[in-house]
Amino acid sequence: MELKKLLDDYEIGGIGDIKKHTLRFHSYRIGTVEGMLTIFAEYTSGQFPITYKGYPSGQELLIELCNLNLELREKPLKECAEILIRWSLENIHPYYHYGDDVAALEQVDNDADQYWDMLVNVIECYSISVKDMVQDLEQLYTDTMTLFAIRSLMEGKITDAQRIYGEVRVPDEKNLLHAWYRADSVHRPLVLQDFIENIPKLKMGLEYDISTGQIQLQPVVKSVVDAAYFGLARFMAVNANALDDYGGKTNIAFCQACGKAFIKRGNRQKYCGTLECQSVRNKLKSKEYYYRKRR
Ligand SMILES: [Zn+2]
């Protein structure tokens, strides 16, 4: 998976890049906290979690998490727990725990073994409520699709907006397209303004950077979902500098066959890279060719 590579060579840049340490554990178990299904990271003596400097690129993370949400839908929580464990093992622990930066330093210490055992197995700092994370992901998905649909409406591409917004599940009074259709052309900008206003606010704060010895303004991020929201904001806003996390212009699009988000490699790419969707594309292409030839 490409994300793993991105985790390794994530570069430090201007405001908006998140430098907190993140962790990948080697195993998890499923349990409950006050009756709520919960997954717990496990620590086995000597097998330290892998430490990463920072979160992966916000945009790539955003795509991963939106697609993860589609995978979780309609599944019983137990199965969601298994899927979230798989994701965490392949990527990073989804929530930041206060002190992870210290933990990264402790790892070289003599007492590291005891330290991790205490933090992970005894105090259980690295536990995740399955229901909470499922809800966080659904919200992120809704907000992401809302913003992409808004951008299509702004560009006058109404069918695109409908397609993008198609899988969003919100009650009627929160439905962007319903509100937009109900408004006349004078009030439509106000509808867009209103929906953008309802996207969760991003938090910034001061941090002391140990490696450079400087005070810096940084995004306040407690989870991969927070990091994805920063990626989303920087992708959408015209005045968010360092718009791009890795050099070239990144274009997010939604596959016309399966609906998943993917990074567009060319301007006209309509289908994601999976074999199924590419075969849909090829079939349509050959049909088109057949009809053109017959005429
Ligand atoms: Zn697809």
> Digits of tens for pLDDT over the chain (295 positions)?
333 333 333 332 333 456 677 889 999 999 999 999 999 999 999 898 888 776 666 777 888 899 999 999 999 999 999 999 999 999 889 988 766 666 666 655 668 888 889 889 999 989 999 999 999 999 999 999 999 999 999 989 999 899 989 999 999 999 999 999 999 999 999 999 999 999 999 988 888 877 778 887 888 888 889 888 988 887 777 766 544 443 344 567 788 888 787 877 777 788 888 888 888 888 887 776 666 666 5
Residues 25 and 87 in one domain: yes
How many angstroms does the Cα of residue 65 sit away from the middle of ligand 1?
A: 15
Q: What is the model's pLDDT at position 2?
A: 36
Q: Pairing relation of β-strands 21-24 and 50-53?
A: antiparallel
The CA 271 to ligand 1 mean position distance, Å, reads 5
Cα–Cα distance, 207 to 219 (Å, whole number): 9
Distance from Cα 70 to the centre of ligand 1, integer Å:
12
268 CA → ligand 1 middle, Å: 14
- Backbone angles phi and psi of 175, in degrees to 5: -85, 115
Identify whether residues 162 and 270 lie together within a single domain: no
pLDDT, residue 108, reads: 59
* All residues with CB under 5 Å from ion ligand 1: 255, 257-258, 272, 277
Q: Are residues 43 and 154 in the same domain?
A: yes
Beta bridge partners of 205: 218
User: Would you state the structure tokens that stand for residue 31, as one six-digit string?
Assistant: 């349990």
Name 173's Cβ contacts closer than 8 Å, sequence gap at least 6: none
239, 262: one domain: no
Expressed in angstroms and rounded, the spacing between residue 274 Cα and the centre of ligand 1 is 6
Q: Are residues 241 and 283 in the same domain?
A: no
Q: What is the dihedral of CA 2, 42, 36, 67, to 10 degrees?
A: 0
Å from CA of 94 to ligand 1 middle: 25
- Asked whether residue 268 falls in the same domain as residue 150, the answer is no
Same-domain status, 221 and 88: yes
Q: Which domain holds residue 291?
A: 251-295
Q: Is 118 in the same domain as 61?
A: yes
Taking the centre of ligand 1 as the mean of its atom positions, its distance from the CA of residue 279, in whole angstroms, is 10
Measured in Å, residue 137 CA sits from the centre of ligand 1 at 20
What is the model's pLDDT at position 158?
Answer: 94
Query: Are residues 222 and 261 located together in one domain of the fold?
Result: no
Both 240 and 275 in a single domain? no
**Same domain as 255, residue 244:** no
- What dihedral angle (degrees, nearest 10) is formed by the CA atoms of 166, 172, 173, 176? 20
Give the total number of structural domains in the chain. Answer: 2
Are both 175 and 273 inside the same structural domain?
Answer: no
| 131 in Cβ contact with 59 (< 8 Å) | no
